[in-house]
Amino acid sequence: MALTATIYSLDTELSDVDRGTYVSLSVRLARQPSETLEFMVTRYLAYCLEYRQGIELTEGIAAGADPAILVRDLTGRVTAWIEVGLPDAARLHRGSKLAGQAAVYTHRNVAQVLAELSGRNIHRADEIPVYSFGRGFVESVASAVKRRTRVTLSVTERHLYMDIDGRAFSTLVEAHRIH
């Protein structure tokens, strides 16, 4: 019998001072059986940090050729391609060409991710930010996330502050470039 996805509901108060985004979100994430909690948390963080009109979560690891997150304009055209973890270079290339804007959010060793992507055929690779979080941050947040969780997430000068059911977490979101 096939395993099914586990649904996580994260009621989120998002205050992104850097982008002037202040919104209450009810984020529902389907965590696939093959998806780590750290990957799911990174997908959630990327969704919040990229939040704008037209943003949508895909099925994550089970999304096939799609990235973890897509942004579409009102006509349905893809305008942003957001990958999580250590994306395939060919898929990142296709997404960058298709959307014109791409980004990667990783919970993995960022030096390893950059080394894997560097020198590969990726459309406008030098314009694609690879975002990382402080050491141990994603793992700590993952240990606090329950299937129904209340989250307050604030961003100021790329410093991320989170409160998850009364537990506080913070980190700097660092941007790196593929060379």
The DSSP secondary-structure symbol of 125 reads G
pLDDT attached to residue 60: 62
C-alpha span between 6 and 29 (Å, rounded) = 8
To which H or E segment does residue 96 belong?
A: helix 89-99
Alpha carbons 14 and 112: distance in angstroms, whole number: 30
What pLDDT score does 24 carry? 98
pLDDT beneath 70: ranges in the chain: 1-2, 60-63
Confidence at residue 62, expressed as pLDDT on a 0 to 100 scale:
60
Model pLDDT, residue 58: 86
Domains of the chain: 6-177 (3.10.640.10)
Half-sphere exposure at residue 138, Cβ-oriented, CA atoms within 13 angstroms = 24
pLDDT in tens, 116-161: 999 999 999 999 999 999 999 999 999 999 999 999 999 999 999 9
Alpha-carbon distance 166 to 172, whole Å? Answer: 20
Instruction: Give pLDDT, residue 63.
Output: 61
